[in-house]
Structure 1
Amino acid sequence: MARIAEELEINRAIAYRIVATLENHGLVVRTDSGLIRLGATALMYSHRFQPQLRSVAKPLLEALANKTGATAFVSVAQGDDCYVIMVEECNTGILRVGYRVGSRHPLNKGAAGIAILSNRPQCDDEPEIVTQAREDGYCITKGHLQPGAVGVASPIKTQNNQTALECCVGVVAMDDLDTPSAIEGVRKTAQELAEQLGV
C-alpha cells in the first residue's frame, strides 16, 4: 500500500480506501503475498485490459471451437470464483451451447475452475479431481454446471503464478462432444497461448 500511496502522491489511508473500494467491485484483487492486480470485473468491462491476450486468443479460440464443434472459452480466477472472459462459438451444427462472457461459478466446480486449481501448488486437502487434472494437464467434467453439459479445460501455464493472471482455455458442449479431440485441442491451444503470450 505504501508504494501505491507514493506513486499516486497521496496519504496511505486514502490509498487504502481507494484499493478497498476497487476490491469491493472486483476491479482489483490482492494475492496471498499482498500484491494488488487487476480483477476479473475489469476484464469484463475493458477491452483494453490484456489486449495481447484478446488478440492472440481470438483466432485460437475460433479454430478450437470449429475443430471440436463446441463453444470455446477463456476463463480467469478471482477469489474463489471462475469468470468467463472470452467466448467463441463453432460455425457448424444446428445447436450450440451458450456460454456468456461474465458468467461465473465456484473454482471447485466445472472443468475451467478445476483446471485453474490444478495449476496451483499442490495442497494436502485438495480434491482428487484437481490432483488428477494436474497429472493429466486437463480436466473433464460432466454435468457439473449444467445437466448434460461436458466441459474440457486446460490451464494456461505461466512461469510465475504470483504475478500472472490465472487462466485456462476450454470447450463446453452437450453429451455428443468428441472428448479425445477436445482434450487434444484444448491442451494444444493452452500451450500455444502461453507460448505466444510469452508468459
Structure 2
Amino acid sequence: MTSESNGSSVKQPGSQTLARGLQALELVATTPDGMTIQEVADALGVHRTIASRLLTTVADFRLIKRSTDGKYRAAGGLAALARDLYAGLRDEATPLLRRLANSLGASVALFVGERTEAVAVAVVEPKNARYWVSFREGGRHPIDRGAAGYALLAGQPPLPGESSRVTDARRDGFVLSYGEVEPGYWGLGVPLKQPANEPAGCLTLITASEELARAAIPEMIAAADKLSGGAT
C-alpha cells in the first residue's frame, strides 16, 4: 500500500541546501558587522562544517566575502545584482539625483524597499560642496526607521497599527528624521509614486544640517514628482 504526500512540508536535499544557502546569504547581507562561520551555523541550526560549505559556495559567486577578521560580509556581486535589478529606475533617477546633489550641496539617494529593509540603489554626492555626508550604494537598514524607511512605507497602502511617522509622511509627502540610522545626521525622505507591481521607492537626502534638510523639502518633492511622472 502506498500513500501520496503532495502536501508534505519535507524538503528534498537539493531544495534544502538551496534554502540554507539563501538563508546564509540573507543573514550575512543584513549584518553590517559581518558574521563568523559559527554564528551562521548557530543561526541556521546546522553543524559548523555545513555552514562553512554554504558560505564558501555563496562566496564563490562573489555575493559575500571573507574578511581578514574571519567574518563574512556582503561583497560586490550583491550590489551588482541590485544595480541590474533596478537598472531602469536607477538610470532614470541618476541625472536627477546629480542635479539635486549639486543644487542642495548634500548627498542624495534613491532607495527601494526590499521586504523589511531600505536599500540604496543609487547614491550621488555633490561636486562643489565643502563637506557632505558620504554613504555607500548598496547600503541597507531596517525599513521601520529613518527618513528612507518611513518614506518607503508611506509609498505603500496603509497598514493597521502603522507608525504615525509613516501616516504623516503619506499625508505630507515627506518625512524628516534625526539620528535614527546614523547618529548626528538628518534625513529627508520623499516617497515615489510607483506602479502597483513595482517595489516602493523614495528619494532621500542625508545631511548634518537641520536647516539644509528643511530647506530642501520643496525641491526634493518636485524631483520625486518628476521621477514619478507627475511633472512634465
Aligned residues of 1:111 and 1:140 also touching (Cα < 8 A)? yes
TM (norm. structure 2) is 0.64
From 175, 182, 185, the counterpart of 1:139: 175
Match of 1:86 in 2: 122
Match of 2:207 in 1: 173
Q: How much has 1:21 moved relative to structure 2?
A: 6.6
Match of 1:186 in 2: 220
From 76, 88, 112, the counterpart of 2:148: 112
Match of 2:80 in 1: 45
TM (norm. structure 1) is 0.74
Alignment partners' CA distance in 1, 2:15 and 2:224:
36
Distance 1:173 1:22, change over 3 A: same
Alignment partners' CA distance in 2, 1:185 and 1:164:
24
Aligned residues of 1:77 and 1:116 also touching (Cα < 8 A)? yes
Distance 1:14 1:135, change over 3 A: farther
Q: How much has 1:180 moved relative to structure 2?
A: 3.8
- How many residues in Structure 1 have an aligned counterpart in Structure 2? 169
Alignment partners' CA distance in 2, 1:126 and 1:78:
18
| Amino-acid identity (%) | 28
From 76, 99, 110, the counterpart of 1:74: 110
Q: How much has 1:87 moved relative to structure 2?
A: 0.4
Alignment partners' CA distance in 1, 2:17 and 2:223:
37
Distance 1:21 1:85, change over 3 A: farther
Alignment partners' CA distance in 1, 2:219 and 2:17:
42
Alignment partners' CA distance in 2, 1:156 and 1:138:
10
Structure 2, unaligned stretches of length 5 or more? 1-11, 27-74
Match of 2:92 in 1: 56
Alignment partners' CA distance in 1, 2:21 and 2:111:
21
Q: How much has 1:113 moved relative to structure 2?
A: 0.5
Q: CA RMSD in A?
A: 2.6
Q: How much has 1:174 moved relative to structure 2?
A: 0.4
Question: RCO greater where, 1 or 2, for CA within 8 Å and sep 6 or more?
Answer: 1
Alignment partners' CA distance in 2, 1:193 and 1:22:
36
Secondary structure (helix, strand or coil) at the match of 2:121 reads: strand
Aligned residues of 2:207 and 2:213 also touching (Cα < 8 A)? no
Match of 1:123 in 2: 159
Q: Which portions of structure 1, spanning 4 or more consecutive aligned residues, are displaced by more than 3 angstroms?
A: 13-26
Alignment partners' CA distance in 2, 1:62 and 1:130:
27
Provide Cα deviations, 1:61-84, integer angstroms capped at 9, x if missing partner.
Answer: 011111211100011111211111
Larger displacement relative to structure 2 (178-187 or 58-67): 178-187
Q: How much has 1:168 moved relative to structure 2?
A: 0.9
**Which one-letter code corresponds to 1:173 in the other structure?**
T
Q: How much has 1:179 moved relative to structure 2?
A: 3.0
From 54, 57, 65, the counterpart of 2:101: 65
Alignment partners' CA distance in 2, 1:100 and 1:155:
20
